[in-house]
Amino acid sequence: MVNASPHRVAILVYDGVTLLDVAGPAEVFKEANRFGADYRIVLLSPSGADVTSNLGVRMAVDGAVSSQPAPDTLLVPGSDRYPRTPVGGDLADAARIPAAVAGRVASICTGAFVLAAAGLLDGKRATTHWRVTRELAVRCPTCHVEPDAIYVRDGTTYTSAGVTAGIDLALALVEEDHGPDLARDVARALVVYMQRAGGQSQFSAPLQGPPPRSPALRTITDLVTANPGGDHSLAELAKHLNVSTRHLTRLFHDELSTTPARYVENIRFDLARALLDQGHTATRAATQAGFPSYDSMRRVFATKLSISPAAYQRRFGTARRTNPN
């Protein structure tokens, strides 16, 4: 049912704001109006002055946060500046003031850092871009960060992952307001998924971090990386170092927060993804990455990405389309 009065969507903008964080969700709400919704979109800045986006595009605003009526929805987009720099007090206040009276508050990508600086994520579940989920957890230690989520709802607070995840979140808000049929019409009009399969792990870079500090453990990780298809059972790895399986397991736990078996699986998984990106068949990728079989690789992909190797390759193997002629 369409509301009797317009639903005010206030988008907080500021110098350096990511343009797509603003435009993507705004386009969803604008498109929803074509199908019977009544969203009124306003751009607000902390001081009421116009701002310049990350692309250098000048954005005219409708006023200052303090001069506007309470929004039904407050959207806080992100910026390349966060988390590289702390969020200024003026920007944090500009989010905190309308959030106190808004019906719901949502962040796009690193806009979560603005919400965190405003104290709006304390004790709540949240997400942000996969590259900076750890930093968000550091900035907001009472927040439970979910690194694989496309978007997270905790009460009336919403957070989303990378820039295009703002479109996913906006569609979810439209569905919440007007039901799945209208939201589906919007998704079809914009040629986007109503709900994409899998979490944001499918977009992330390889899982492996810096090499271990321990020389013994570095020997093992180098061995696995150099020959992922070898016999890397716990017993064989421990024998290679002439240590007990219990001691090797403790080394992995203390320094890498994982098990030897999980580490080997992650190495194989990362290599398989790279091979699929390069255009190798799924069967060949499984063999070269060291998986015992294609089925074992498929199970790992299903667990980590919620999609099959074939589906992953269709999405990320190439941006080119086959010429039908």
- Catalytically active residues are 109
172 closest CA partner among 157, 194, 192? 194
CB 205 within 8 A of CB 63: no
Tell me how far the alpha carbon of residue 149 is from its chain's centroid.
Answer: 6
Helix axes 294-305, 260-277, angle to 10 degrees: 100
Q: What is residue 206's DSSP assignment?
A: P
CB 145 within 8 A of CB 133: yes
CB count, 10 Å around CB of 151? 23
| Whole-angstrom distance, CA of residue 261 vs CA of residue 176 | 42
**Tokens 């997400």 correspond to what residue?**
127
Q: What are the backbone angles phi and psi of residue 12, rounded to the nearest 5°?
A: -85, 115
CB 114 within 8 A of CB 140: no
Tell me how far the alpha carbon of residue 43 is from its chain's centroid.
Answer: 24
Q: What token pair was written down for 130? A: 């996969």
